[in-house]
């Protein structure tokens, strides 16, 4: 890696893009062997926040009969109040653009405060049915709090919780294994399928509107990632249906794949590009399978089975080439 950096610096100097003085300063700086621990420290703080909130949840579960509900709720409320007091005291307030805070701990205190708020509201509903039979409110209220915190404190982690809560509010639980799980709700409830696609489209529309008014445009990747998974999982799950509706979902998946192909280049987001390829590949193979199953070419099934290993090898090679091409295009 060091040799590559030196070669790149030498190329810049040879092309007269940097002066000899700059070239010597770059070499002197690299000779110091300084490296950044910023990413590692942030990851450590993130896991610390998760472990702390998980510990609170386990403590409540194990000692619920010893301490009493009122005591536990009071402790949670005090912790939430303390966290939010620190956050509001050290924040710069709401800003439309990306905000950089002076305190390196603020982002994680906001995350802890938000998770504890979700625990508090869930505990309140479970134990005392504070919202009666309106169980959706126990999901909607933490979702609103999460969105408010995400935009006010400029926190992507909290935004992820907010979008997840919004999906849960309309009854969605989307994970990768849902695509092939026969007990997936998408198979039994078409309303959830349409809700997932509608939510995905709504998130896309919101990113477009946010970019026009320049509102937290750095949140775009989070919204697009959720939209990609929601639309793709919902459509792929319905490619197994017996009626002709699978043709409509194939078209929706095709349109979605084309859109995310374009937007992944615009955002220079390789994560979107990779998932788009995976979902499109799965959908394309299911489409071929349904077509072959409809035609029923009994005479060539053996040939197709023999060609299957070659097909997968070619697919892997093409996947690698597409990733390399994408990296060159965004470089």
pLDDT tens sequence across 280-305? 999 999 998 888 777 766 666 677 77
Lowest mean pLDDT among 111-115, 125-129, 236-240: 125-129
Average pLDDT over residues 214-224: 95
Lowest mean pLDDT among 1-10, 136-145, 191-200, 266-275: 1-10
In contact, 156 and 222? CB cutoff 8 Å: yes
Residue 28 pLDDT: 75
Residue 37 pLDDT: 62
Residue with tokens 């078209």: 251
Higher pLDDT, 36 or 13: 13
Lowest mean pLDDT among 24-33, 102-111, 180-189: 180-189
Q: What is the pLDDT of residues 154-211, one digit of tens each?
A: 999 999 999 999 998 887 654 444 444 544 555 556 778 888 999 999 999 999 999 9
Residue 38 pLDDT: 62
DSSP conformation class of 268: T
Give the residue ranges of DSSP H helices in the chain. Answer: 2-14, 20-31, 38-62, 64-67, 69-90, 106-128, 135-152, 156-169, 185-188, 190-213, 220-237, 245-267, 270-295, 301-330
Short-list 146, 140, 59, CA closest to 110: 146
In a 13 Å sphere around the CA of 236, the CA atoms on its Cβ side amount to 26
In contact, 91 and 153? CB cutoff 8 Å: yes
Lowest mean pLDDT among 7-16, 211-220, 235-244: 7-16
The answer for residues whose C-beta is within 8 angstroms of residue 70's C-beta and 6 or more apart is none
pLDDT band at 152 (very low <50, low <70, confident <90, very high): very high
Residue 293 pLDDT: 74
Structure tokens at 283: 């959908």
Average pLDDT, the chain: 83
Between CA 47 and CA 124 the distance in angstroms is: 26
In a 13 Å sphere around the CA of 14, the CA atoms on its Cβ side amount to 6
In contact, 253 and 232? CB cutoff 8 Å: yes
Structure tokens at 75: 């402790």
3-state DSSP assignment of residue 241: coil
């Amino acid at each position: 890696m060091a040799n590559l950096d030196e070669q790149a610096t030498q190329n810049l100097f040879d092309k007269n893009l940097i002066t000899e003085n700059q070239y010597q300063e770059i070499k002197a700086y690299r000779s110091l062997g300084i490296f950044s621990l910023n990413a590692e420290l942030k990851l450590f703080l993130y896991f610390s926040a998760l472990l702390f909130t998980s510990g609170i949840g386990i403590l409540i579960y194990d000692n619920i009969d010893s301490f009493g509900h009122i005591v536990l709720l009071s402790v949670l409320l005090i912790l939430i109040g303390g966290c939010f007091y620190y956050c509001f005291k050290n924040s710069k307030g709401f800003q439309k653009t990306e905000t950089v805070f002076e305190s390196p701990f603020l982002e994680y205190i906001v995350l802890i405060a938000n998770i504890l708020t979700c625990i508090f509201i869930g505990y309140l509903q479970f134990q005392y049915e504070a919202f009666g039979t309106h169980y959706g409110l126990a999901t909607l209220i933490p979702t609103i709090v999460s969105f408010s915190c995400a935009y006010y404190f400029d926190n992507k982690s909290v935004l992820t919780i907010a979008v997840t809560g919004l999906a849960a509010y309309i009854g969605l639980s989307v994970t990768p294994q849902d695509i092939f799980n026969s007990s997936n709700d998408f198979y039994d409830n078409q309303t959830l399928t349409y809700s997932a696609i509608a939510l995905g489209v709504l998130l896309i529309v919101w990113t477009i509107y946010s970019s026009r008014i320049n509102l937290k445009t750095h949140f775009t990747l989070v919204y697009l990632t959720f939209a990609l998974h929601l639309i793709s999982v919902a459509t792929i799950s319905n490619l197994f249906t017996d009626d002709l509706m699978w043709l409509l979902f194939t078209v929706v998946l095709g349109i979605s794949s084309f859109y995310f192909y374009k937007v992944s280049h615009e955002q220079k987001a390789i994560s979107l590009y990779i998932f788009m390829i995976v979902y499109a590949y799965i959908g394309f193979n299911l489409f071929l399978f349904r077509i072959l199953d409809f035609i029923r070419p009994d005479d060539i099934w053996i040939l197709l089975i023999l060609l299957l290993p070659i097909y997968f090898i070619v697919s892997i090679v093409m996947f690698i080439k597409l990733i390399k091409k994408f990296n060159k295009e965004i470089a």
